[in-house]
Structure 1
């Protein structure tokens, strides 16, 4: 019964978590009592429009609204549930309720968030893949926001090696934003959790993204900013994480590139620790190894051949690889780039390659 009234409250005030928490505290977290006996006097200073919205929604049938939620296959986790993560409950403005699709068991694992720019570079891809591969085999979950760029790349790479994911959306779970990531969202639901504070039928709204970022920070024990320019939304996540005493890391980059200004500023302001290896995060969090099976991406026949040649002839030049493998240069370069992103080989300059495994 409590879920019904938590849902109607969340549906009414999903964009005002502090106000909603204040109201429910006045009723000892009894959402039904709060709904039936709400008095505007307990919300001094609240905007008139918000109070009018509460009064209007109180005319709605809570049970009917909850039935619609169930029809969509979306469940709700409330702050009074024993399954609600303690570390999320302890942030300054925890969500009173979160909507989810997937397996709640993922919330019991220590979580690391990887966030960053939506305009991911080759360096950003290489960085994220390196970090994720170094986390392989550890008992953890990866958190991100399903956005373009770093978020989606981190989700995809971690799913490949068996790390369960938590994707946090700003909109309702009856829709996926961006729509190009529908298949990725389905994969995450199979291997983790899709969550949101926004009730179903809530579209993506600009003001909800910072609120979403606060939830990403709240769910994670550590936040890694992989690549971020000066005004990246990922910096909001880092600020939330820092204010909630989470571990914050930033990956350094080219000092002349705008793509890395945000990360460098975090490091300079001492709000983030410079990160070059995921083993630093593993050590700081004291993560257990061996609870997850290590999955390795299967190499193509061409990549296996290239790898054998580089192992024997290290360093191996592009022209030598082309002559021996007889792979057309354009195709060979594509294979080499993919192998470099997988942290199997490294270009040490002048198109000379060595193994890194």
Structure 2
């Protein structure tokens, strides 16, 4: 691992630094490596950095922990995927609170054209399991990536049905990647590694503590083109995930349930409050998602020549092309490693060339392509 990637990993071992502040530090300093060479006075001028954090950056021992983590990853055959890496999931790049680091194990293709998240109660009924069985069989022609949380009930049933139907499936964990929870699902998790895999944002050895699961849920929502709630109580993790998916402008679906049944209440409320589309058959999903079996969406043709721009401008334009044609200035800085001051000048130049436009909220939109 090169020094900048090691520095990026080391940032994750500084107490009090979360995903947003990692990006903020890199945005202001220019690179992860430069963060550790920035004087305390300048660090303190970065929003979100206080005296304790600055001292931890300059005098802590994050590199010792980072080097141990790298060795652990190599031993466990685990891939460390940073937000700046080309193989970081493009769907997660679209969400503001995306994890800055993922631990991944298995054979995962994050760029499969269609992804379906399936979530629900941990106390799945025969009705809920049958809904999953029927849906999974009907999804086979679409060959989607099935995303869930490896939990009891609907989650593990979705993973197992994906394996049965030879569909790739990814389990998003609320623990370290070396801590399978619940342990009863270890065999299924191992089988998934050959037909998808496991991912987490938590370091090795992290226990499945309660606060990890709402964070885990946002990754499930972020990776899903369509999020399907099968059975859910009136309150619980499935409804939280559905709320998150709605905030990301994802398409949410729910199977209806019998009135008066506790694990139907959540789905019925989602449908009644227009927070989920009614799902009774795969045709409902195909209609709302505009999916045709076996047909991959065409990529947009690039209608301008990148060679007409200098190297820094090309980097900015490439990042915009990769991310739905618009990003905030902080996100562009993060992805290009260009300092904010220099980037602002580049963006102004591109505005004058009518190639990008500035939108409210410090968002920049690519106007061609």
Superposed pair shares fold, TM > 0.5: yes
Shift in Å at residue 52 of structure 1? 6.8
Unpaired stretches in structure 2, ≥5 consecutive residues: 297-369
2: CA distance, partners of 1:187 / 1:195: 14
Q: Does 1:142 align with 2:143?
A: no
Superposed, 1:113-128 pairs within 5 Å as 113-128=117-132
Counting only pairs closer than 5 Å after superposition, residues 272-311 of structure 1 correspond to structure 2 as 272-290=276-294
**Which moved further from structure 2: 264-273 or 241-250?**
264-273
Highest Rg: 1 or 2?
Answer: 1
| Residue 27 of structure 2 is aligned to residue 32 of structure 1 | no
Aligned position for 1:41: 44
* Deviation readout 1:247-301 (Å, 9 max, x if unpaired): 0011110111111111112112211111111222233334452489xxxxxxxxx
Structure 2 partner of 1:218: 222
* Residues 112 and 142 in structure 1, CA contact (< 8 A), matched pair in contact too: yes
Q: 1:121 to 1:95 in 2, by over 3 A?
A: same
Q: Equivalent residue for 2:12?
A: 10
- Change in Cα spacing, 1:61 to 1:99, as seen in structure 2 (3 Å) is closer
- Aligned equivalent of 1:353: none
1:45 shift after superposition:
5.2
Name the residue aligned to 1:351: none
Contact 1:5/1:31 (CA < 8 Å) preserved in 2?
yes
Per the alignment, in what secondary structure is the counterpart of residue 223 of structure 1?
A: strand
CA contact (8 A) 2:11 2:17 kept: no
The CA deviation at 1:47 is: 7.8
Tell me how far apart the structure 2 counterparts of residues 141 and 27 of structure 1 sit (CA, whole Å): 37
Alignment counterpart, residue 79 of structure 1, candidates 79, 83, 86: 83
Report the CA distance between 1:120 and its aligned residue. Answer: 0.6
- Counterpart position of 1:68: 72
What is the alpha-carbon root mean square deviation over aligned residues?
A: 2.5
Cα distance change of structure 1 residues 137 and 59 upon mapping to structure 2, 3 Å threshold: closer
**How far, CA to CA, are the matches of 1:65 and 1:35 in structure 2?**
19
When the two structures are superposed, what TM-score results if normalisation uses the length of structure 2?
0.72
The offset of 1:49, in angstroms, is 7.1
Could you list the runs of 5+ residues in structure 1 that have no partner in the other structure?
293-357
Separation of aligned partners in 1, 2:180 and 2:165? 24
Contact persistence 1:242–1:248 (CA under 8 A): yes
Q: How does 1:66-215 map to 2 (within 5 A)?
A: 66-215=70-219
CA distance in 1: counterparts of 2:210 and 2:69, whole angstroms: 25
Q: For residues 21 and 6 of structure 2, what CA distance do their matches in structure 1 show?
A: 19
Is the alpha carbon distance of 1:64 and 1:42 closer, same or farther for their aligned partners in structure 2, counting shifts above 3 Å?
farther
Question: Quick check: 2:117–2:221 contact (8 Å CA) kept in 1?
Answer: yes
1:9 is displaced (CA, Å) by 2.4
Aligned pair count reads: 291
Note closer, same or farther for the CA distance 1:52–1:204 as it changes in structure 2 (3 Å cut). farther
The answer on whether the counterparts of 1:136 and 1:161 sit within 8 Å (CA) in structure 2 is: yes
Aligned match of 2:267:
263
CA contact (8 A) 2:105 2:199 kept: yes
